[in-house]
Each structure stands twice: as structure tokens, then as C-alpha cells.
Structure 1
Amino acid sequence: MKLAAHDHGGDGPPLLLLHGAGGDLSAWETLAPQLNARCVAVDLRGHGRSPDGPWEWDAVLDDLEATTVQFGLSQPIVVGHSLGGALAGMWARRHPDCPAAISLDGHRSGTTNPENYVHYDRLEADLATLTSMFDAQQETITRPSREITDVWRRSPEFADALPVFARVTAPFLLVLATKNLPVPPDLIPLMDAHRAGLRRDLPVVCPNVEVQEIDATHGMVAEQPLEVAAIVNEFIRATA
């Protein structure tokens, strides 16, 4: 499958930019010019101007392989946001010689398994409420297709990408948001418990992963592109 892509150009190592679920390559318009690299952003299959197709993780990675060949990106660094961050980990697992990979707050679904949260009294009820909200939201979305979003929601890699990250041998950075996206006040404890679960589990499950926190929400790429770019540039410089 040939993906829609945009070559931002730039000097430095080749860098492949992967957007989040429901997004497209335009998410990188502000951040890409700030990176010390030659940046190529893509629309993942079923997103933006890329064709539709069944969502299988290996097939999506094959799409990215073809894109790197098309643009002559030899051993690219992969930077992904949200869903793209999980894919960055999968790419690095597939390519042990990858120079580096970076996940921008791509780690676990908001409705991950209950054991991935730090427990509190209303956990199960709040998780059911959030799941219902996502169910209702799914009915209003036309792209990506329901077939794709259904695959995500059943996928263990989407529910929790930490086991994927644990198998990465390349330098890997996870940038963790410290602020919650706007949610009903009753669900703030659930969001806090989600982040607390990550802070608890990352050193145990993924001791190979460097973690940096940023004072932003999950929308960090749009909210703080300059700060995100500085973090990415420094990690690339340090790993080089």
C-alpha cells in the first residue's frame, strides 16, 4: 500500500514521523521544521489521504518499510505520537539496528486492562464510564473505519504497548504527559491512576526505555511543539 507522505526536508539524519489515531501527517507541520533531521511524515493506512485497508500491525509496518524505500530513508529514526508511538516501538523491535525510536505519549490505551491502573475505590465503575464514552464517540467517526478501530480496541498491543517496548534493543525514549486531557471531573481520578500505573510499571517492565516527562497533555505535539522538538533533538544528538 502506498501511503500519502510529505517530505519536510531538512539537514541531519533521516526521521520518519507517525501521527496518532484519527490524525494525519498535518499534525507535524509546526514541529517538523524544528527538528535537526530530514523529516518525512506519513498518513497511516485508513487515515488522511492514504488508502483504506485492513489493520494488521505487520502490514502497517510493511507500509512504512515501503515508504522508507520510496524516500531513500536508510535506517531512519522513528518518532510517533500516541498510536504512532506504539508503532515506533514495533518498528524498533523489528529493526534492532534502528538508530533510535521515540514515543510521544504512546504507551497504553485510556481503557487499558484494570491491572494497569493504580487501584482506587471507583476504578471499575469509572473505567466502564470511559469505555461507554469511547463507544459513543466511535459511532460518530467515519475515518478511520469502524473495522480499523474495532481491531485497535481488541488488540493487546493497543491496550498496552509496554511489552513491545521491553523487547526493543535500540535507544528508545518515551515522553510522558503529566497533564490530563479535558475529561468530566469524575474521571480525573481514573486518568491520574492511569499515569500512576505507568510510572509504577515502566521501570519494572521496560528498564531499557528512557522516560522523560513533559508538562503537557496527550496533545503535546500541538500544544508545545518547541519543547517537544528540543527533547527529540537532544535524544537524537545523545544517541548519535
Structure 2
Amino acid sequence: MINDRLIDAGELPLAVRDFGGDQPPLLLLHGAGGNLAHMTTLARALRAKHRVITVDLRGHGRSGDGPWTWDAALGDLAAVCVQMELDRPAVVGHSLGGMLAALWGQRHPEASGVVSLDGNPPPSRVEHLPGMQPPAAAADLARLRKVFDEMQAGMGRPIPADHLADLVEAQRKAARDMGANEKVWLEGFRRNLVHESGETSTRPSAAAAAQMRELMNELDLSPVYAATTCPELVVLPTRALPEQEPFADLYAAHRRFLVEQAAAIGHLRYISLADASHAMVVEQPGLLADLISDFLTTSAR
């Protein structure tokens, strides 16, 4: 039985969804700009072998707002574990959630395992783009930074009432194009809507997005991987998203860097998932569920 509830994390309330069951616990985390609904299809695929708990990270979905720091977000997860009585849960995350999973593993050697589903900072440094000439890399990074700046500036702005129906229809089309469950996709969209003082806006806010972006750009995962002693799996993409195609060379170089980074840590297990982009959670939830469950079962032996 699926159960939604709000828990008190001290500083703010956190929305969680418990998929039930008495199997080993697994905490499943969404990416920046998402919410727990976006993880529903993967959660259902994992439920056969795990008690799956999904969470709206702070500033997303139905959870409260608060300053975005790694310590604060990891503290939220610790509060979820205490209040949901999760003993040594596996932590699996996508994108931002994958970075949190990696940081959790570093700080919690007793964890049964952590899995990062392309939980990597976005391209932001010339030295992380092997195979590209530095001037070309710097120019592409500047163009990409401008795209992210424009996206960030638009976050949290009020949505005109007569635009909402068009936005919902655009989300339906996006779900069809991605091959996603339309009902789940729309729940994810609506869960990040905020209705206040007669206006509708989206979460996260521009301020929260700026804080998360700065954290991700500054994060160096190499020492995190090196210091982690609990079992850890990193699942990497092998192709670009459609919206990344204008930066195809940059993202191809960045994927090379991610493989090199993972391969340099002898005890880290990593997989470059065939025909997978950053949207792997939507593209291949069944395969990911099998990979995650097999990894965690093998690591527990």
C-alpha cells in the first residue's frame, strides 16, 4: 500500500511516499527541478525487492523551503531515515539526487549501498572536457552557461492563468515523446506548482535553483568516490539528450571525462548504460531496477 505523509525534519517539513513492503529499505531521490512523482515508475519497478521510499527534496514538490546546502539536504535525508525507521537504507539518486547519494555514501560507511544515476555536475570546466581544444571548450561552456542563466532567471516566475492549459498540453506531448507514463509525468509537473495569493508559479524558486547550481558546479566527486567505503555503483549515460545536441561535442567530451573519473577509482563500480541519456530513469526504468537490485544483492553477500 502506497502511503504519502509529511515528516518533521526540524527546519522544515518533508514530503515522502512509502511504497510499502518488508524488503530491505531503499531511499530513492529525484534530480534538481523534479520531485518524488518523477521517480514513480522506477520505484514501482524496484518495489518487488525493496521497500522504496521517495522524497521531495527541500524546495521541491510538497516539501518546505530552506537554504540549499549539501549538509542541509543530507540532514533532511537523515531525518527521513529516523522518522521512517529505515535501518541502513540503500540510497539511489538521479542527477542531483545521485550526487546526494554519493555524498551519503562517503559519510555513511555503514550504508548497504549507494547508486548514482548520472549524478554528476554539469559541464563547467575546460579541464573536464578531454579531446576538445581549450578555446573551443571555453566558447561552448560560455554558450551553455548563458542557456542555464536564462533557465534559472525564468524559474519561480508567476504563470499567466491563460497559459496553464497550454503548459499541461506541452507536458502531455513531452511524455509521449519520451515514452513516459503520462499520468506520472503530469503528476510530476503539477506537484511542483505553487498556488499563492491568486498566482501560480513553479518550484524550485530562482533562489533555490541558483544555490543548487552553485553547489553542483563546485562539487568534485573524485575525492568523494575515493573516500567512500560502502558499495557504490555509478551509472553513466552514453548519448546526449535532444536539447543537448547543440552542444554535442561538449557533452561527448564530458561523458569521456566521467568515464575516466570513475575508472580512476579502483574500488568504484561503474556502468556506461547503452542507449541511455541523462533521462535514463524515464528511458529504461526496468533495466535500471534490475541493475540496482542485482548490485545491492551482490554487495550484501
Q: TM-score range by the shorter chain?
A: over 0.9
**Aligned 8 A contact 1:31 1:225 in 2:** yes
Q: Which of 13, 19, 28 is the equivalent residue of 1:2? A: 13
Match of 2:59 in 1: 46
- 1:1-240 equivalences in 2 (<5 Å): 1-35=12-46, 36-109=49-122, 111-121=123-133, 122-142=136-156, 143-155=203-215, 159-183=219-243, 185-204=245-264, 206-215=265-274, 216-240=276-300
SS at match of 2:296: helix
Deviation at 1:187, TM superposition (A): 1.1
Distance 1:156 1:207, change over 3 A: farther
Whole-angstrom distance in 1 between the partners of 2:73 and 2:297 = 28
Unaligned runs of 5+ in 1: none
Task: Please say if residues 154 and 206 of structure 2, whose CA atoms lie closer than 8 Å, have aligned partners that are also in contact.
Answer: no
Contact 1:168 / 1:208 at 8 angstroms: preserved in 2? no
The higher radius of gyration belongs to 2
RMSD: 1.5
Richer in helix (by share): 2
Q: Is the 8 A contact 1:107 1:160 kept in 2?
A: no
Amino acid in the other structure paired with 1:24: N
Return closer, same or farther for 1:51/1:195 CA change in 2, 3 Å cut-off. Answer: same
Q: Does the C-alpha gap of structure 1 residues 158 and 23 become closer, same or farther in structure 2, counting only changes over 3 Å?
A: farther
Q: CA deviation at 1:184?
A: 5.8
1:14–1:76 CA contact under 8 A, matched in 2? yes
Deviates more, 1:154-163 or 1:84-93: 154-163
The alignment partner of 1:17 has SS state of strand
Task: Give the AA of the match of 1:207.
Answer: G
Deviation at 1:161, TM superposition (A): 2.6
Contact residue 152 and residue 210 of structure 2 kept, 8 A: no
Q: CA deviation at 1:106?
A: 0.4
Count of residue correspondences: 238
Q: Which runs of 5 or more structure 2 residues have no equivalent in the other structure?
A: 1-11, 157-202
After superposing on structure 2, the runs of 4+ consecutive aligned residues of structure 1 that deviate more than 4 Å are 156-159
Q: 1:100 to 1:184 in 2, by over 3 A?
A: closer
Show CA shifts across 1:165-216 (max 9, x none): 2211100000011111113644100010000111222222x32210012121
TM-score, normalising length: structure 2: 0.75
